[in-house]
């Protein structure tokens, strides 16, 4: 639900300018799996592009039929024809097939003025630039809630990426949730550890709380309902109140009460240190994998 629904045929000025930003733009998706589809869906839902301006490539013919039927986009099993003459080429394949894709597209498939936008985890800009012999590159670290338009995408761009291309990037990523620009690729390794890997931490905490509820005697479905709404409400509370989490936590911690008792155990068990170590380990791993991929 959005709080600003508009009557049919009425476009806000932001929507109009976002649309104009994509006038005549042709975009090719290399790899049209979960994330590629989420981006296509978002672009069409926001009416940034007409379906005929989008080409999706994928190796499986059933997948292509599915995408063409559902979204009306052009489809092909040939990556080169999906990339050739496009204004934006989105690399949305798994990291293990990136080498093969770069080899395929490296031979002048990308037009000189195009933008290459990569969401491939752990693939440094340098590798893509070298593989494609192309300079205007945006690298993005999205996360899984992007699949429902609630993602956090952190991105950076090479100096050769023009202002209009940066605006287009913002609009494309806004279709997946929130986007945040960083001015150095190092921050992408940090974002990988914090927001990219973040859903894994949250789901683990979610699972642990549900199990704790079951341990006390709640039926699992009730424990799930209580935990999910508590997490959702706490996030919204933190977001809307704009107060520091410590302040919000103090508000529910009465002297000698249940929260104080539980927090004492969490601190004693080293929760903060474990979280900090986990995020640090993910950051180191991201840098290590990026180094291997150069
Ligand atoms: N999912 C997320 O939330 C998320 C978050 C952060 C980053 N990422 C990154 O986003 C990228 C895509 O992830 P995903 O979850 O969308 O993966 P996915 O669902 O597996 O999509 C990749 C697609 O590429 C296709 N493909 C395989 N080989 C190809 C080739 N040579 N040329 C063109 N297409 C090919 C695959 O087809 P087949 O299925 O037939 O092999 C599949 O449809 C990955 O690099 C991942 O690291 C994803």
CA of 145 to the centre of ligand 1 (A): 15
User: What pLDDT does 6 receive?
Assistant: 33
Q: Which residue, among 61, 56, 169, has the nearest Cα to 119 in the 3D structure?
A: 169
Task: Indicate the pTM of the whole model.
Answer: 0.89
Instruction: Please give the number of the atom of ligand 1 that sits closest to the Cα of 121.
Output: 47
CA distance 59 to 18: 31
- 58 Cβ below 6 A of ligand 1: yes
Q: How far is CA 258 from the centre of its chain?
A: 37
- Confidence band of 20 (pLDDT split at 50, 70, 90): low
Tokens in use for 249?
A: 């936590």
CA of 16 to the centre of ligand 1 (A): 31
**Is-contact 188 182, C-beta < 8 A?**
yes
Tokens in use for 283?
A: 């950051």
CA of 93 to the centre of ligand 1 (A): 4
CA of 32 to the centre of ligand 1 (A): 7
Cβ–Cβ contacts within 10 Å for residue 95, how many?
Answer: 12
Cβ–Cβ contacts within 10 Å for residue 68, how many?
Answer: 14
CA distance 270 to 124: 34
- 145 Cβ below 6 A of ligand 1: no
5: pLDDT strictly greater than 70 = no
- 34 Cβ below 6 A of ligand 1: yes
CA distance 43 to 63: 19
Tokens in use for 230?
A: 């508590």
- 286 Cβ below 6 A of ligand 1: no
- Confidence band of 275 (pLDDT split at 50, 70, 90): very high
- 220 Cβ below 6 A of ligand 1: no
pLDDT digits (tens, 9 = 90+) for 27-79: 999 999 999 999 999 899 888 899 999 999 999 999 999 999 999 999 999 99
pLDDT digits (tens, 9 = 90+) for 26-35: 999 999 999 9
Specify the higher pLDDT residue, 82 or 291.
82
């Amino acid at each position: 639900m959005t709080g600003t629904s508009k009557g049919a045929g009425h476009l806000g000025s932001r929507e109009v300018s976002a649309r104009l930003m994509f006038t005549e733009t042709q975009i090719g998706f290399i790899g049209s799996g979960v994330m590629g589809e989420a981006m296509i869906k978002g672009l069409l839902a926001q009416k940034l592009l007409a379906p005929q301006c989008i080409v999706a490539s994928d190796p499986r013919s059933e997948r292509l039929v599915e995408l063409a039927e559902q979204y009306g986009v052009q489809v092909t099993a040939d990556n080169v024809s999906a990339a050739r003459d496009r204004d934006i080429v989105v690399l949305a394949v798994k990291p293990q097939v990136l080498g093969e894709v770069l080899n395929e597209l490296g031979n002048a498939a990308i037009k000189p003025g195009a933008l290459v936008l990569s969401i491939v985890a752990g693939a440094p800009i340098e590798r893509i630039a070298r593989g494609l012999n192309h300079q205007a590159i945006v690298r993005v670290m999205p996360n899984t809630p992007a699949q429902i338009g609630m993602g956090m995408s952190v991105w950076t761009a090479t100096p050769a990426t023009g202002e209009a291309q940066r605006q287009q990037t913002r609009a494309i990523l806004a279709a997946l949730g929130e986007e945040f620009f960083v001015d150095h690729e190092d921050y992408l390794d940090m974002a990988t550890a914090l927001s990219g890997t973040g859903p894994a931490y949250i789901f683990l905490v979610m699972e642990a709380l549900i199990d704790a509820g079951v341990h006390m005697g709640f039926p699992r479905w009730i424990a799930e309902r209580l935990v999910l709404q508590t997490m959702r409400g706490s996030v919204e509370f933190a977001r809307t109140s704009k107060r520091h989490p410590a302040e919000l936590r103090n508000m529910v911690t009465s002297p000698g009460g249940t929260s104080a008792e539980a927090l004492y155990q969490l601190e004693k068990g080293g929760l903060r240190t474990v979280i900090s170590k986990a995020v640090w380990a993910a950051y180191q791993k991201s840098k290590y994998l990026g180094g291997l991929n150069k």
